[in-house]
């Protein structure tokens, strides 16, 4: 059975390019020009992955992302942003997106991102396992993260980064190791991409994101999840 991709973008030319490309590599593609229409389509016929433009008329991409995430918490969502700006990326992650792609995009990059988020969503369930560090805990079986026993919602990508760092418990994980493990070998040099996710994770996990106690930067090397609550290194 083919993997079904829902493309939501008000620009017909963009939908056509994506549709032709993804059908050529074996996807079934469904198109929608509005967020409201897309939500109705998903209720009638669920899809395996959603590609959603951030700027659209009607309810807009961000509101549509939040609505899809509430109704279909397991479906992978990628957002198309119109510029390589931090605010757009952070807004997409806060809305529940698993990843983002900046316009204009290379077709090869888009295909790789879609396949990467699908791989992460299809990981086999892990044996029940909890990783506890001070007042935070991660449950791999249910892919749940808790701080002071309160659940903190993480997207698949965010969860995979945190799990990798928490398993290392205080050891530095190099940039390339994180990028390769979470996104694939083709992203091993995308350090700025990783930094965007780390800044967002600090907002979710840390009491004071500007002075993190858990998610620490090791300059020029990578990141580590501190076991005892440490002083922040440069971001």
Confidence of residue 234 (pLDDT cuts 50, 70, 90): very low
Is 130-225 CATH 3.30.750.24? no
pLDDT in tens, 9-42: 999 998 999 999 999 989 999 999 999 999 999 9
Write the DSSP assignment of 59-102 as a string of letters.
THHHHHHHHHHHH-TTS-EEEEESSS-HHHHHHHHHTT-SEEEE
Section 117-135 average pLDDT: 73
Confidence of residue 123 (pLDDT cuts 50, 70, 90): low
From the CB of residue 55, how many other CB atoms can be counted at a distance below 10 Å? 16
* Mean confidence (pLDDT) of the chain: 87
CA quadruple 90, 191, 78, 142: dihedral positive or negative?
negative
Per the model's pLDDT, the better-predicted residue between 112 and 225 turns out to be 225
> Across the strands, what pairs with 7?
31, 51
Question: How high is the pLDDT of residue 85?
Answer: 65
Is 4-121 CATH 3.40.50.2300? yes
**Strand 49-53 to strand 4-8: parallel, antiparallel, or no bridges (unpaired)?**
parallel
Which residues are CB-neighbours of 149 under 8 A, at least 6 positions away?
Answer: 137
pLDDT in tens, 90-115: 888 888 899 888 888 888 888 888 98
Structural element, H or E, at residue 200: helix 191-205
Q: What is the pTM of this model?
A: 0.72
**What is residue 208's DSSP assignment?**
S
Question: How high is the pLDDT of residue 100?
Answer: 87
Query: Domain coordinates of the chain in residue numbers?
Result: 4-121, 130-225
């Amino acid at each position: 059975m083919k993997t079904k991709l829902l493309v939501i973008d008000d620009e017909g030319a963009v939908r056509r390019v994506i549709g032709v490309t993804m059908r050529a590599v074996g996807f079934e593609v469904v198109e929608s020009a509005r967020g409201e229409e897309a939500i109705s389509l998903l209720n009638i016929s669920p899809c395996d992955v959603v590609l959603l433009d951030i700027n659209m008329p009607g309810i807009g991409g961000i509101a549509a992302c939040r609505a899809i995430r509430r109704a279909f918490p397991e479906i992978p969502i990628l957002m198309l942003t119109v510029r390589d700006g931090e605010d757009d990326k952070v807004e997409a992650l806060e809305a529940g997106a698993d990843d983002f792609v900046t316009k204009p995009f290379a077709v090869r990059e888009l295909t790789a991102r879609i396949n990467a988020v699908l791989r992460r969503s299809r990981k086999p369930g892990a044996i029940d396992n909890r990783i506890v560090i001070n007042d935070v805990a991660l449950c791999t079986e249910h892919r749940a993260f808790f701080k002071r026993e309160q659940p903190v919602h993480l997207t698949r990508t965010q969860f995979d980064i945190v799990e990798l760092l928490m398993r290392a418990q205080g050891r530095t994980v190099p940039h390339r190791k994180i990028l390769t493990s979470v996104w694939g070998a083709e992203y091993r040099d995308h350090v700025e991409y990783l930094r965007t996710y780390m800044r967002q994770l600090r907002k979710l996990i840390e009491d004071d994101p500007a002075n993190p106690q858990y998610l620490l930067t090791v300059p020029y090397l990578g990141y580590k999840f501190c076991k005892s609550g440490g002083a922040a290194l440069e971001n």
